[in-house]
Amino acid sequence: MQEQLNHVKKRVKKALDKERWEHTKGVAYTACCLAMAHGADPDQAMLAGYLHDCAKCIPNDEKFSLCKKHKIQLTEVEQRNPYLIHAKLGAFLAAKEYGVEDEAICHAIRVHTTGAPEMSLLDKIVFIADYIEPARDKAKRLPEIRETAFRDLDEAMRMILFDTIHYLANGTKEIDPTTQETYDYYQRQQ
């Protein structure tokens, strides 16, 4: 595992710009800590954190051509909002380029932007770590969400999804049906 982590770290660092690499390290360590707090595997969470945005810095035209080449189906919402593609493409690259055989890690990468109903423990840890890592500073009520994340993952999911849906609606951004479904699902779980 340590060997795989070192290998992945080196390669991901090269694939990202400086700011995205700083964010990525924050997500990896935050995911690791959340795993410790909630009885998940810290190494697995760390590896997922390092890889979650591995496709983020690929130019959009290249994202489209890679998806076409590897027959990765894109929804219309993804075609209209290409920054959403890095989740699906990242999951593919984690398996095919970075040699990750753990499907749970690839799944966590795949759902890290929109979320999904019935997420696994690892999925939630990566999703939440992405939102609360130390370099994040723009989202509302971060201190409250950060504190909640170490006590109650589902409550943190509800808070993040609530804020994200409202942020997207206020900015008149298109809401992916999966983001909406995830929001509805975690609201019902209360």
Residues forming the site for Fe ion (CB under 5 A): 53, 130
Task: Examine residue 130 and tell whether it contacts ligand DGI (CB under 6 A).
Answer: yes
Residue from 81, 102, 155, 163 binding ligand DGI (CB under 6 A): 81
Q: For ligand DGI, which stretch binds (CB under 6 A), given 40-48, 103-111, 147-155, 170-178?
A: 170-178
Task: Examine residue 78 and tell whether it contacts ligand DGI (CB under 6 A).
Answer: no
| Matching residue, tokens 């170490």 | 150
Tokens of 111: 């759902």
Task: Examine residue 173 and tell whether it contacts ligand DGI (CB under 6 A).
Answer: yes
Number of H helices, E strands in the chain: 11, 0
Distance CA 18, CA 128 (A): 22
Residue from 30, 44, 148, 164 binding ligand DGI (CB under 6 A): 164
- ∠40-9-134 over CA atoms, to 5°? 65
Residue from 19, 103, 147, 174 binding ligand DGI (CB under 6 A): 174
Asked whether the beta carbons of 120 and 98 are under 8 A apart, the reply is no
| Matching residue, tokens 């932007």 | 113
Task: Examine residue 96 and tell whether it contacts ligand DGI (CB under 6 A).
Answer: no
